[in-house]
Amino acid sequence: MSSLTPKELYNKLSQEAISHDEAHQEKTRVMVGTATCGVAAGALKIKADFIREVEAKNLQDEVDIVEVGCIGHCYAEPLAIIAKPGHPAICYGHLDDGLVHRLVEDFLAGDDPSYEYAMAALERNDVFPTFEDFPRGVYEQKLILEQCGFIDARDINSYIARDGYSALAMALEEKPGWILDEVKASNLRGRGGAGFPAGRKWEACIRSKGEEIYVICNADEGDPGAFMDRSILESDPHLVIEGMILCAFAVGARKGYLYIRAEYPRAVTHVQEAIDQARVKGLLGESILGTDFSFDLEIFQGSGAFVCGEATALVNSMEGKMGMPESRPPRLAQKGYRGKPTVLNNVKTFAYVPLIIRKGAKWFKEIGTPENPGTAVFSLVGKVVNTGLVEVPMGTTLRQLIYEVGDGLPNGKEFKAVQIGGPSGGCLPETALDVPIDFDSLQDAGAIMGSGGLVVMDEDDCMVSVARYFLEFTQHESCGKCTFCRLGTKHMLDILTGITKGEGDDETLNLLEELAEDVRDGSLCNLGRTAPNPVLTTLKYFRDEYKAHILEGRCPAKVCRDLLLYYIEPPKCSKLCNVCVGSCPTEAIFTRDDGLKEIDQEKCVKCDNCLKACPDEYNAVVKLSPPVLPSEKERKAK
Amino acid sequence: MQLLEGEKEQILASVDEVLKNSSKLREDLIPTLQKVQAKLGYLPALAMEKIAEGLNVPAADVYGLVTFYNQFRLNPPGKHQVKVCLGTACYMVGGDITLESFERRMEIREGETSLDRLYSLERVACVGCCTMAPVVVVDEEVEGKVTPTRVDGIMLALQDEEKKSVTEQEPNQGRGEDS
Amino acid sequence: MSEYVTVKIDGQEIKAKPGEKLLWVALDNDIYIPHLCGIRSEERSNASCRLCFVEIEGIPRPVTSCTKTVEDGMVVITRSERVDRLVKTAFELILSDHNLKCRECPANRNCVLQVIAKKRKIKLRHDRFKPIAREYELDDSPAGFAFDRSRCVLCGQCIWADREEAKVGAIGFTKRGINRVVTTFKDLPLAESICTQCMLCVEACPVGALFYKKKEPHTATADKS
């Protein structure tokens, strides 16, 4: 044991980190957002462009080009933050090689920040507005996303220099019970979906009085349409690690695991680096910060099965078995990994813990609503202008989130539904938009908070097709253990597939609804029990759309391909244009004797290429549903 | 599937190497399978048998596990792997149409490898960059906003790369495949 | 812990050993509850067939009796509208994936599915769910028995027999979801696998999926060719 107290040891680390960080801050820093989303938008190329341009100007000694995580403004990717001494740090979006060239020449070599291309400044200043000055700033409140994209995820000093691990140092000077009391007092609810109070889970684990206790972080984010866990692990891994260490101290665990999807290679790399760095600093491993508390972390890579997000399935897969859920009780807190008491929490849940310890339960409870304190983190995607990661206080309404934070729907389209909670969640209509976002209200409305995927849908989205999509997903991901989920979801999917082809009658809808209810009530685990939610909510709120499919053979949103055809309207088509012909992958479009184009319906695969290719001045390609050509319609009318 | 000459030795060596550092406990099964697949690209029956022996698990269970999890493959992947994301956001903007375009261009179905073992095509549940939808992962490179016309571009680039590697390799022929 | 607990099932007072699961207590006392996957000696119930639902006073929804440990004073009813609805749907789902040519089946009149149908008055043939079309090859490679997967209901009894009684490990569950199947390593015919042909799995099968071959009297000694 060290003669220094945890706080004294921490202060040394902190001073090192700050001076390390300050040394960096004397130079100009270009921070390129290279989380997976940024990389997909070409961030690595942008980074290379910066390096090339900076070298061309011979500035490499004055400029550091670093990779940072995701700041949440994904709609503007690729983006970078430039922090030049003497100027506020400024974020630039929609970067390309031309803009990089310009920024290096004018701002890095010259001294003109090129405000016309800037999105926002990162700190308050007298010259340029910050993100908080955006209309969405009124609603956003970043707690666990605060540092994402601003700190160097791959350098622990960057985290420590901003008070990182100070909560741990504080806690180690107290009794373990103090952390538990704070977390309980904060009423932090688990962010994995159901919102079970984290403190109670921890306490149950302590009560089990196991010789060994495990702490596991569930980062098996499998909801197709949610990526906040990935983003946090990639952008601020130490926040989660510190949260896990605090939990381990509270419950008396010596070993913990992060269960991360193998599909998230960047997250795995960043977390592994973070674990290694934390060990070197004495924040993880034997005798943490000189105390007799020891705790170590390891990554377990999930092999890609959505069902492993379920607690018992996750533990089974860690034990080398198929990831299949078990009946409960016993709960994990009594009998978890290796049969020992286990705390399993989501990435976000752990991420809140250091903040609660540092700032106090009282501070946390003042954010959000009394029953649902804190913030909600969503990946806001689909038909919304500002796609990206958002964090808002619990209790914010869906309308505020979509229209203020997300800036509404693009292209002047009409809102139709919002899907919350992914395959386990539901689709809510316009009338539900004033529902406050919290665990209980969303559940009452038929959706769930889930892991936080939020997909906005407009008039071009077919609700039957959306329900079918989610069912196909859960059916595909069903582990197959229990009858309701294995066979029930299969029959539901078959019925839905039939409906997208116009098959069925009113009875079909009743059967679908009955079956959905039985799968909900009869399945073994929560994956099965929640799988019918997308079907039940769309049947509840959008039954007319279902009816249009089966009674009229019509898909109102013109999505279901069996119920539509592509047609070139002769009056709009131009003899001078050939674009659609070239765009067709199956050579279904031909030029008629009169020079206009026509689609051979036999050959058409409905790929949508011609509709996209047809120039705006003509817009001659249209979708018709029901799939009846105007000529046939006339014939039928006669 | 028939193993080519030398493949058997390669499989045995890979499994041995991974097992050397293994705890030999059942809970090491998934990490072991992951490491062996990382070396071989897939999990041939021989590898599964050896892993079962090494960890003292029934081979039927190893087979069960490999067929349960999405990550594991029983057949060698193509040289170029294309994964089409069909997460919600991607699906809504036509990810399925993108997938179909690849199927048409590669002349294989999702989950298959082309006969010349050059391409394999998979669907994945979510890559986690929904804002770039539709997203495709081409040989570990994530690419966003992939429309059917972009599919043609990606395929052309891959074919070009193949042509180049063939012409580059020709002068080296006879030097053996390892370099 | 006291020697026994008292529970009331369908109005009948029953003394039961503490720690016992409700399903077995009911069956021991001639109270029928449908079930396929339950294994009495299993520590944690498989709970996969979803047929043994009952209502317990104080619990808002029907629960599976194989997962509930008896408690003193527990009041249980085995039939209710909600229970019957769930059991009927689960049973019909299982039948939609089961070869219903009973006359050709060696387990005809000796099949647990027929028992459930009779006891609960549910028709074996129903039209709510379309039969799931599949093609399975019959595995008649063993000398004394055969395996027809089109009749398998995935209850797992054979795997338990293979693992826990015979201690062999020749068969297991493979694949996921709707493709889940009982099979050998690499899907080999049983005779080519490590199966010892002890036939304990045949004894365990509640339907006609694993069955003795006719007219070929064969002892349980393994054919080790």
Phi and psi dihedrals of A518, rounded to 5?
A: -70, -40
**Is pLDDT of B178 > 70?**
no
Query: Does A77 contact B25 at a Cβ distance shorter than 8 Å?
Result: no
Please report the DSSP string for A376-397 in residue order.
EEEEEEES-SS-EEEEEETT-B
> In angstroms, what separates the C-alpha of C183 from chain B's closest C-alpha?
8
Chain C positions touching B59 (Cβ under 8 A) are 169, 185, 194
pLDDT at C117: 97
**Is pLDDT of B128 > 80?**
no
Answer whether A493's CB lies under 8 Å from A505's CB.
no
From CA A441, how far away is CA A560, in angstroms rounded? Answer: 32
Q: CB distance from A97 to chain C under 8 Å?
A: no
Give CA separation, A329 vs A162, A386, C43, C67, C69, in Å.
42, 43, 12, 8, 10
Instruction: Select from A37, A322, A608 the Cβ nearest to the Cβ of B132.
Output: A37
pLDDT at C23: 98
Tell me the β-bridge partners of A344. Answer: A216
From CA C211, how far away is CA C196, in angstroms rounded? Answer: 16
pLDDT at A404: 93
**Is pLDDT of C220 > 70?**
no
Residue with tokens 């050959």: A603
pLDDT at B169: 62
Answer whether B137's CB lies under 8 Å from B127's CB.
yes
From CA B12, how far away is CA B53, in angstroms rounded? Answer: 12
Ranges of H-type helices in A26-80:
36-40, 43-56
Q: Do domains C1-133 and C134-225 have the same CATH topology?
A: no
> In angstroms, what separates the C-alpha of A55 from chain B's closest C-alpha?
26
The highest-level CATH class for domain C134-225 is alpha beta
> In angstroms, what separates the C-alpha of C101 from chain B's closest C-alpha?
29
Do the strands A214-219 and A255-261 form a parallel or antiparallel pair, or are they unpaired?
parallel
**Is pLDDT of A71 > 90?**
no
Residue with tokens 């934390």: A278
Q: Is A282 left (phi over 0), alpha (psi -120 to 50) or beta?
A: left
pLDDT at B176: 40
Q: CB distance from A327 to chain C under 8 Å?
A: yes
Phi and psi dihedrals of B108, rounded to 5?
A: -135, 170
CA dihedral A193, A194, A197, A202 (to 10 degrees): -70
Average pLDDT over all residues of chain A: 93
At B170, the pLDDT band (50, 70, 90 cuts) reads low
**Is pLDDT of B175 > 80?**
no
pLDDT at A408: 95
Instruction: Select from C163, C174, C176 the Cβ nearest to the Cβ of B63.
Output: C174
Average pLDDT over all residues of chain B: 88
Residues of C numbered 147-206 whose beta carbons fall under 8 angstroms of chain A's beta carbons: which are they? Answer: 154, 173, 175-180
Q: CB distance from A322 to chain C under 8 Å?
A: yes
Write out the H or E segment, with its range, that includes residue A246.
Answer: helix A237-251
Which value does ipTM take for this structure? 0.94
Chain B positions touching A222 (Cβ under 8 A) are 125-126
> In angstroms, what separates the C-alpha of A529 from chain C's closest C-alpha?
13
Query: Does C47 contact A484 at a Cβ distance shorter than 8 Å?
Result: no
**Is pLDDT of A461 > 80?**
yes
- Kindly state the average pLDDT of the residues C38-59: 95
Q: What's the pLDDT tens digit per position in A607-623?
A: 888 998 999 999 999 99
Chains touching A (at least 3 CB pairs under 8 A) are B, C
- Which of A332, A486, A511 should be substituted to probe chain C, the one whose Cβ sees the most C Cβ atoms within 10 Å? A486
**Is pLDDT of A35 > 90?**
no
Q: CB distance from A411 to chain C under 8 Å?
A: no
Chain A positions touching C90 (Cβ under 8 A) are 483-484, 518, 522
**Is pLDDT of A119 > 80?**
yes
Q: What's the pLDDT tens digit per position in A122-165?
A: 888 888 999 888 888 889 999 999 998 888 999 999 999 999 99
From CA A217, how far away is CA B128, in angstroms rounded? Answer: 18
Q: What's the pLDDT tens digit per position in A184-210?
A: 999 999 998 778 999 999 999 999 987
At C1, the pLDDT band (50, 70, 90 cuts) reads low
From CA A318, how far away is CA A329, in angstroms rounded? Answer: 19
Instruction: Give the residue extent of every domain in chain C.
Output: 1-133, 134-225
For chain A, give the percent of residues with pLDDT over 90. 80
Chain C positions touching B48 (Cβ under 8 A) are 185
For C1-133, CATH number? Answer: 3.10.20.740
Q: What's the pLDDT tens digit per position in C127-148?
A: 899 999 999 999 999 999 999 9
Residue of B nearest to C172 (CA): B60
Dihedral sign computed on CA atoms, order B1, B2, B7, B12: positive
Chain B positions touching C172 (Cβ under 8 A) are 58, 60-61, 63-64
Residues composing chain C: 225
pLDDT at A224: 80
Tell me the β-bridge partners of B54. Answer: none
**Is pLDDT of A36 > 90?**
no
Write out the H or E segment, with its range, that includes residue A214.
Answer: strand A214-219
Query: Does C186 contact B63 at a Cβ distance shorter than 8 Å?
Result: yes
Strand, coil or helix: C97: coil
Q: A436 is written with which tokens?
A: 């406050």
At C223, the pLDDT band (50, 70, 90 cuts) reads very low
At C215, the pLDDT band (50, 70, 90 cuts) reads low
Q: A178 is written with which tokens?
A: 């103090």
Task: With CA atoms as reference, report the closest residue to C53 among C110, C108, C120.
Answer: C120
> In angstroms, what separates the C-alpha of C15 from chain A's closest C-alpha?
23
Chain C positions touching B52 (Cβ under 8 A) are 185
> In angstroms, what separates the C-alpha of A471 from chain C's closest C-alpha?
13
Instruction: Select from A475, A481, A521 the Cβ nearest to the Cβ of C86.
Output: A521
Helices then strands (H, E): number in chain B? 7, 4
Strand, coil or helix: A458: strand
**Is pLDDT of A530 > 80?**
yes
From CA B62, how far away is CA A321, in angstroms rounded? Answer: 9
Calculate the CA A474 to chain-centre distance. Answer: 18
Q: What's the pLDDT tens digit per position in C96-108?
A: 999 999 999 999 9
Chain A positions touching C64 (Cβ under 8 A) are 327
Domains and CATH numbers, chain A: 20-133 (3.40.30.10), 164-364 (3.40.50.11540), 375-461 (3.10.20.600), 464-552 (1.20.1440.230), 564-637 (3.30.70.20)
Query: Does B131 contact A303 at a Cβ distance shorter than 8 Å?
Result: no
Do the strands B80-85 and B136-138 form a parallel or antiparallel pair, or are they unpaired?
antiparallel
At C221, the pLDDT band (50, 70, 90 cuts) reads very low
Instruction: Give the residue extent of every domain in chain B.
Output: 7-68, 80-170
Peptide linkage before A176 cis (omega within 30 of 0): no
Write out the H or E segment, with its range, that includes residue A353.
Answer: helix A347-359
For B80-170, CATH number? Answer: 3.40.30.10
- Kindly state the average pLDDT of the residues A443-461: 88
Chain B positions touching A450 (Cβ under 8 A) are none
